[in-house]
Amino acid sequence: MRFEKFFVAAAIAIISIFSSGCGDEVASVDQNQTLTIGILPDVDSVPFLIAQEHGFFKDEGINVEIKQFKSAPERDAAFQTGNLDAVVSDMLAEEFLRAGGFEVESLMSTDGDYQLIAGVGNNPDEIAGKEVAVSKNTIIEYVADQILIRGGIDPNSIQKVIIPQIPARLEMLQNGKLYAAAMPEPMASIAIGNGCTLIGSASELQINPGIFLATKKSSEEKKDSFDKLFKAYNRATEYLNSTPREEYIDDVIRLSGFPEQAREFLSLPRYRVATPPTEKDRADVKSWLENHHE
């Protein structure tokens, strides 16, 4: 509301004065400890958006600025230039950033699914030699390779088309310009809802390399703020897990920028509380990188 924008400072002061006499205390926000985080249009990022929308960050006494990107390269460029404290990312990006001398810290796993989808009328068994869209050296390419390998198909047998922007990848698949594409949710479910065919998914293979990644500098200097952010994140996951879909879906579509079709097809995962990444996922990613050919 406009009233809140003009009088937020006064409201915070009033709350601080009277909170000692109330049952629910509201922490004061330290404006010097703002966290700026980068996200992509995927379900991994939804709890952060819900925490912002419902005021959970402010309840914990932190200020969080969320910046949305359409592709991993755009996100990582902003991250490396110091414009972001942290990003919803993946273990592939983490390894490449570290190899480039950029100091980062993996703070928790995220919950999202990544799927390999064949276009309308295309036979998944005939994917060899066909054009398949991925985002190069990202979780998308990693998951696509794992799905193909476990399906008995050599990843080198397909023609990988590099399309970093997720919305563009979905559009080209649905327009018949690609044989298949690897995509995160909700774009994968939208494609399937429009007649495309699921080849395989990260969730089916129990692959979970999505992470929340911070600069080492921010993770050390703003540790208290990150602890508060995770408390707010956990409140958001509890809300999403326990609330009927019809009560949050409008907010999710509006805040995330998902296509309107996601309103019908999107199914959110059961989110976990903030949890460190597993060593198995990290080992699998490192093995893939060691054997991956450009």
Tokens of 67: 């910046």
Are both 182 and 252 inside the same structural domain? no
Are both 108 and 149 inside the same structural domain? no
Residue-level pLDDT at 29: 57
Are both 104 and 234 inside the same structural domain? yes
Cis ω on the peptide bond leading into residue 155 (within 30° of 0)?
Answer: no
Crossing angle of the two packed helices 46-53 and 245-256, in degrees rounded to 10: 100
* Helices marked H in the chain: 2-18, 46-53, 56-59, 72-80, 91-99, 139-150, 166-174, 187-193, 202-205, 216-221, 223-242, 245-256, 262-265, 279-291
Tokens of 243: 């609330």
Are both 188 and 251 inside the same structural domain? no
Are both 192 and 156 inside the same structural domain? yes
Tell me the DSSP string of 250-278. HHHHHHHT--TTHHHH-----PPPS-PPP
Residue-level pLDDT at 259: 87
Which of 205, 222, 252 corresponds to the end of one domain? 205
Which of 205, 223, 238 corresponds to the end of one domain? 205
- Bridge partners (DSSP) of residue 131 are 159
Which of 162, 184, 205 corresponds to the end of one domain? 205
What is the pTM (predicted TM-score) of this model? 0.81
Are both 90 and 154 inside the same structural domain? no
Residuewise pLDDT in 10s, the chain (294 residues): 443 433 334 333 433 433 334 444 445 555 557 999 999 988 999 999 999 999 999 999 999 999 999 888 899 999 999 999 999 999 988 999 999 999 999 999 999 889 999 999 999 999 999 999 998 888 899 999 999 999 999 999 999 999 988 889 999 999 999 999 999 888 999 999 999 999 999 989 988 889 999 999 999 999 999 999 999 999 999 999 999 999 999 999 999 988 888 999 888 999 999 999 988 888 988 888 888 755
Residue-level pLDDT at 52: 97
Tokens of 136: 């190069």
Q: Are 255 and 53 in contact (CB under 8 A)?
A: yes
Are both 94 and 222 inside the same structural domain? yes
User: Does any domain span residue 16?
Assistant: no
What CATH number does residue 163 fall under?
3.40.190.10
Are both 257 and 228 inside the same structural domain? yes
Tokens of 134: 């991925």
Tokens of 266: 């999107």
Q: Are 147 and 116 in contact (CB under 8 A)?
A: yes
Are both 200 and 118 inside the same structural domain? yes
Range(s) of the domain holding residue 189: 114-205
Q: Which of 46, 32, 64 is nearest to 229 (CA)?
A: 64
| Dihedral, 289, 111, 246, 234 alpha carbons, nearest 10 | -150
* Angstrom distance (rounded) from CA 285 to CA 290: 9
Residue-level pLDDT at 31: 54
Are both 201 and 118 inside the same structural domain? yes
Q: CA 132, 93, 213, 67 torsion: positive or negative?
A: negative
Are both 142 and 107 inside the same structural domain? no
Report the domain count for the chain. Answer: 2
